[in-house]
Amino acid sequence: MKILVTGAAGFIGMHTSERLLARGDVVWGLDNLNDYYDPRLKKARLARLAAHPAFHFVQRDVADRDGMAQLFAREKFARVIHLAAQAGVRYSLQNPHAYVDSNLVGFVNLLEGCRHNGVEHLVYASSSSVYGGNEKMPFSEHDSVDHPVSLYAATKKANELMAHTYSHLYGLPTTGLRFFTVYGPWGRPDMALFLFVKAILAGRPIDVFNQGRMRRDFTYIDDIVEGVLRVLGHTAQADAAFDPQHPDPGRSRAPFRVFNIGNHDPVELMDFIAAIEQALGREAVKNFLPMQDGDVPATFADTAELDAWTGFKPTTSVRDGVGRFVSWYRAYYGV
């Protein structure tokens, strides 16, 4: 198939594109190569993809309304995987307009492109952050997600609502994937694993928020990509059993679904750090700090719906995943 992957120079985008190319798809990768983090890493990811003859790169911002409309009209993609977004919870407190431009305006442009050009299925990145102030664990797609605690989370919740509207009005099949703390080789430099490894190797202290009393459902990149591809092949369908008297947030009479993709095995932050220390062979100097605005103390994914729909659930252990990241980091940076 001819598939558009937005955010193709990003962490998840590169890995997803590689898998699609390996199975024989034609991939059009779109990215604006912004400087939210070092563009050299993004260009290095792109270089891996550019070596494949079935990969085509377009440097464009999803917020470019006319440019996106022209791209969709010209290329007539069969399916779309939308991973481009302004990421980061803490950064949304500093630069909220970047989230509106990319995550809201850009998402409307994607929906319009899909609507007008016969796209068979839109799969898009949502986030575990939509669960916000929820405290019932594990987080389930059947739970309400009406109490976000960051603007980033609010934009991801808005994406799900916008997608549902297009599924309802125009019959566009859409599936949102709530990613839970993705990590692995080629990961983002603003994420904890990257920051911790970099600091420990440099002999600097690491910042440990909430005094280390955090739990995260760390999900390895290969598991995320497998989930994305499985969902892409299982087009969202209307739920004939949907009860509007008792509406289920994760289902609809429209061809709309949302799924958690997490490891279903939350790990204490201190245990995560211990896995890093073991992989590096050295101990971290820890700077314990209070909880940061916009953060939540724990995430825990209920993955029963994903398993039922696709027959897949993530299984990579943190110890294995961290070890693979450290091996990549040492090789890439020569340390």
- Residues annotated as catalytic are 152
Give the position of tokens 């340390």.
335
SS3 content of the chain, % helix, strand, coil (to 5): 45, 15, 40
Give the position of tokens 């199975």.
23
- What are φ and ψ of residue 72, in 5° steps? -65, -45
210-241 in b/e burial notation, b at 16+ Cβ within 10 A? beeebbbbbbbbbbbbbbbbbbbebbbebbee
Instruction: Determine the Cα–Cα distance for residues 290 and 286; give it in Å rounded to an integer.
Output: 13
Contact 258, 126 (CB under 8 A): yes
Give the position of tokens 């939210």.
36
Instruction: Determine the Cα–Cα distance for residues 247 and 238; give it in Å rounded to an integer.
Output: 13
Question: What's the Cα-to-Cα distance from 292 to each of 18, 91, 210, 211, 216, rounded to whole Å?
Answer: 35, 12, 7, 11, 15
Contacts of 28 (CB under 8 A, 6+ apart): 2, 3, 4, 5, 56, 57, 58, 71, 75, 77
Alpha helices in the chain (DSSP H): 11-22, 39-50, 65-75, 96-99, 106-116, 151-170, 192-202, 221-232, 269-280, 304-310, 318-333
Query: Quick one: CA dihedral 88, 89, 95, 101, positive or negative?
Result: positive
Overall size of the chain counted in residues: 335
Query: Quick one: CA dihedral 174, 180, 186, 191, positive or negative?
Result: positive
Contact 213, 297 (CB under 8 A): yes
Instruction: Determine the Cα–Cα distance for residues 140 and 301; give it in Å rounded to an integer.
Output: 7
